[in-house]
A and B are shown apart, each in its own frame.
Chain A
Amino acid sequence: MTALARPQPRILPGFSLSMGITLLFLCLIVLLPLSGLLWQLGQLGPGDYLRVMSSERVLAALRVTITAAAAATAINGVFGLILAWVLTRYRFPGRGLMDALVDLPFALPTAVAGIALVALYDRSGWVGQLLEPLGIQIAYTWWGIVIAMAFTSIPFAVRAIQPAIEELDRDEEQAALTLGATGRQMFFRVLLRPLLPSILTGIGLSFVRSLGEFGAVIFIAGNMPYETEIASLLILIRLDEFDYPAAAAVAGTLLALSLVLLVAINVMQNRLQSYLRSEG
């Protein structure tokens, strides 16, 4: 805490230089743009803000975004846990490839992911062809948005859960088994509880990521106002109409939502961890 104004120079050289570079970069690239958004929101005033936000189209876009993100997160919660478990606990041929595949959605540019998903799920795509006779359509519907969001956020779920599984106490599992716990009891008591903080973190991160996803979604979404139009796209549309205040209002809301969630994840993680520890 005895920070910047200490009379004696620090032992390791480079404090002023690295502080200067870091602050300069953060000011120009992060802080100033963020303040740009705040500035625009400030000019808007609460009345205008509420008027923008209460429009049918904005509400519909937020509803579509949030429900789809929730559905994608549910999928990733289940499969993220399975993937993390399989990758940490089992050794089998092809495991390395599987591990790399998990990161692919992170490495793949979102626009590429977007057109790839359409190519797969539209009427002529490999999966779309199969589903069409059954009367199921994914591309250009709400489900398409869910698939795209699930795709881009898989790595976040898996990588958040993995370290916790690595740390799990195997002895405890063995003890539970020898004490006659059934597989299901063991799963819920011995496994799920200590994993809970990181599972919640994983799905939280995956939800935040889904809320903001754009490139992967817009190609497959259909983008019909009120039905398959996500919040990010609506911001872009308002921008193209030079309606900066409306764009800023929706953007501010989306940003606030993400930030609240991130802080909540952080706080919850700390709380749960200390709670679990105190339970011993």
Chain B
Amino acid sequence: MAKPILIALALMFLAAMVLLPVVAIFDRAFAEGAGAYLAAIRDPETLAAIRLTIIAAMIVVPVNIVFGVAAAWLVARYRFWGRRALLILIELPFAMSPIVAGLCFLLIYGAYGPVGAALEPYGIQLMFNLIGIVLVSLFVTCPFVMREILPVLQVTGEAEEKAALTLGANGWQMFRHVVLPNISWGLAYGTVLTMARAMGEFGAVSVVSGAIRGRTMTLPLQIELLYNDYNATGAFAAATVLTLLALVTLVLRSVLNRFGPNREAHA
């Protein structure tokens, strides 16, 4: 009765709304043939954008991991004044428009902002360069690692950690041998999410990057540039790179869902 109709509806909606656009990316990227596609990918500006995107992500991801693990540990294992406010603050970037986020950074760290102006005499510039890109990427990816680890920590509990302490482990040994193996799956997925988002962020980065051709263009910005230059093959070819990254993220998610331990904790 209702079942086939509902499944059909759901399938049609997803196919039209989600699947088709992704197929269209590849269709346009290869519209002029595989040769044109490869040439577009090898374009020096596009390669420079890919390089910058990877460099930025390589800074953002480790910093976010350190923050995410520390914040999850703090929130999961201790009760302290302001704990709830802290949680809300960590989630806040997720709900903010990326343009507003970028603007916030410009207003404080830019040349006219209090911090930016104070640093200017020393020749330190935080916006319109790699630092600015890294800062806003940290903002937009802020909750990703923490959010994956927190439920795992809450479900596994403190017992093993306390056992390690009674056996003489110091803090680092407890973390290294007991906590880390327990959170490794969540950490892995949080890392992948952070990486995908850091590489794909568009709005916030476009506010603070300065968009200097070949210098401060990340891959998403380069896509916009090519697109506005009516270089469709170039834009869609660059887009396929990020699309593949997104698909890898999804595959990893389902792998972790199926084989990772403690995933029921996430329900």
Contact = CB atoms under 8 A, between A and B. Distances in A.
A105 B249 CA distance: 12
A4 B13 contact: no
A33 B97 contact: no
Contact of A215 (B10, B80, B104, B202): B202
A255 B200 contact: no
A120 interface: yes
On chain A, which size bracket covers the interface?
35 or more
Contacts of B108: 32-33, 35-36, 39
B114 A113 contact: no
B107 A110 contact: no
A235 B67 contact: no
B21 A119 contact: yes
A18 B108 CA distance: 26
Contacts of B109: 33, 36
A132 B21 CA distance: 18
Interface in B193-224: 196, 199-203, 206-207, 220-221, 223-224
User: How many residues of B sit at the interface, in one of the four size bands?
Assistant: 35 or more
A30 B200 contact: no
Contacts of B251: 100
A112 to B, nearest CB: 5
Interface in A97-134: 98-105, 107-113, 115-117, 119-120, 125-127
B135 interface: yes
B24 A126 contact: yes
Given A1-B81, A14-B175, A115-B235, A90 B3 contact: yes
Contacts of B224: 111, 219
B239 A115 contact: yes
A97 to B, nearest CB: 9
Given A37-B100, A109-B202, A150-B17, A21 B67 contact: yes
B18 A115 contact: no
Given A100-B250, A151-B17, A29 B142 contact: yes
Nearest to A266: B88
Interface stretch (A46-54, A80-88, A172-180): A80-88
A163 interface: yes
A251 B253 CA distance: 34
B107 A119 contact: no
B202 to A, nearest CB: 4
B161 A255 contact: no
Interface in A161-190: 163, 166, 183
Interface of A: 1, 3-4, 10-15, 17-19, 21-22, 25-26, 29-37, 39-40, 79, 82-83, 85-87, 90, 92, 94, 96, 98-105, 107-113, 115-117, 119-120, 125-127, 147, 150-151, 154, 163, 166, 183, 208-209, 211-215, 219, 232-233, 235-236, 239, 244, 247-248, 251, 254-255, 258-259, 262
Interface of B: 1-3, 6-7, 9-11, 13-14, 16-22, 24-25, 27-28, 63, 66-67, 70-71, 73-74, 77-82, 86, 89-90, 92-93, 95-101, 103-109, 112-115, 135, 138-139, 142, 158, 161-162, 165, 170-171, 174-175, 196, 199-203, 206-207, 220-221, 223-224, 227, 235-236, 239, 242-243, 246-247, 249-251, 253-254, 267
The 7 A-B residue pairs with the shortest CB-CB distance in the complex, in nearest-first order: A109-B200, A36-B108, A212-B97, A13-B171, A3-B81, A33-B104, A215-B202
